[in-house]
Structure 1
Amino acid sequence: PRALGLTSRHLAYVIYTSGSTGTPKGVMVHHGAVTNFLTTMAERPGLNERDRVLGLTSLSFDIAVLELGLPLTLGARVVLADRAAAHDPGQLKALIVAQGVTVIQATPSTWRMLLDHDDPPGPPLPIGCRVLCGGEALAPDLARRLLMQASAVWNLYGPTETAVWSARHRLDGEDDRPLLGGPIGNTTLYILDHALNVAPIGMVGELYIGGAGVARGYLNRPELTAERFLADPFSPETGARMYRTGDLARYLPDGNLEF
């Protein structure tokens, strides 16, 4: 790679997302962002060579980067679900149990589909299976159901523009509502007011994300890139940027992030 002049800033992939506008836009994610994401997720929630990770997500959804990339970097196994199984809770449940899957990542909608299905009867998850949930807000009732089934449940958050997940929190059953904890490695989560001042603890503001996961911007959309990818005034690194998510959140006194 050095002989070819490649660096971590070179493009890893472009993936399209509509976001809240409904207009597709290509997000340019560089290799450094992907590497940082995989490295930090390998530590927490954690993965090892004995794990079997369910490959459930379409390649058009960036969370597939975790399902395919993370186990392959650590010598773990990927259990691929075909299209039929991905849309049929009975087939999916049978695949999970038969293959002894130990890690499953899915959206809350998919988890509800799986937990609500009882044919064949019995628990949908193998003993010791770990659950990753993200892509949508995790409702408290669903969180409680997952905690009853899994050995560990992680609530995850992140826009495509910051390389998959940017925040993570392991649920402990004591939360009144699922929290999003804190940032993954080499990532900063800022709660800012309209003037880009840091909001006090407990006050709601807009969430900005800085650090290693911030994408290069939108493909062939310089005006939109300038609007959403801003210079990071809090970083000591030259040229550092932060992404404006448009989401409202606040920091709790214990340091956890809450939407």
Structure 2
Amino acid sequence: MAINYFYPIGFGPSANCKLGIPGCTLDISVFQYLPNVPANATFLAVFAVLMVAHIAQGIRYKAWTYMGCVAAGCALELVGYVGRILLHDNPFDFNAFLINLAYVFIPCDIISLVLQGTGGALSAGAETEDGTKVGVDVSKAGLIFQVVTLVLFIGLSSDFLWALQRTHRHDDQRVTRPLKVMIVWLAAATILILVRCIFRIYELKDGYFASAFRDEGTFIAFESVFMIIAVACLNVGHPGRAFLDTSKPGETGRPLDALAEK
């Protein structure tokens, strides 16, 4: 009589576990915990509200490109939190884990996104611990590249604003009060995103199976809360208020995309 042995696999495309099956415990899942549904549902709702607010502001100020980029970022955040909620029902669901990893970055970070995606794919298809490590290293390279480019952006934009503030040859070159307000909120959002990216590097420093990657409290603090505040900063400091041209009586402003083309 043949005996069928069941070998539990808790992570990867070949995962065959579900809670309740003998041998399938949280200890062999990637997070080693069930994501908190109320917390993740709250973040999902907040990002949805912020996305709607950005769409409304984009329509009001005709900031189509800006609206599209920020709304797309919020949409990917929504996808990520849907993945975390699905992982609560089945912490071994590899598809839900991949959905949870959804990200969006500034255009210069497309290379970073490709590297992180490649790293995730390598880790997912790896059959050995060394193979998984290669994937994690590629993902970390993408995150490090993102931090470097973001720091470079901060440096170059700071230099530009300093030069602009000191140059008053033309009225339209001055840093007006609305523009200063936008810059302050943009700077706050940028710093929050930078800290969040540094946290992601720390989180992956020892791979997917390290304690840092499995700490939901730290994830909520540095990922969820930081990103919600960053998106809210972009709402408060919307560029539409800074670049809206109301210099002529009766005008309600020009589309931001049209201003960018000049």
Question: With structure 1 as the length reference, what TM-score do the two structures score?
Answer: 0.22
User: Greater share of helix residues, 1 or 2?
Assistant: 2
User: Greater share of strand residues, 1 or 2?
Assistant: 1
Ranked by relative contact order (alpha carbons within 8 Å, sequence separation 6 or more), the top structure is 2
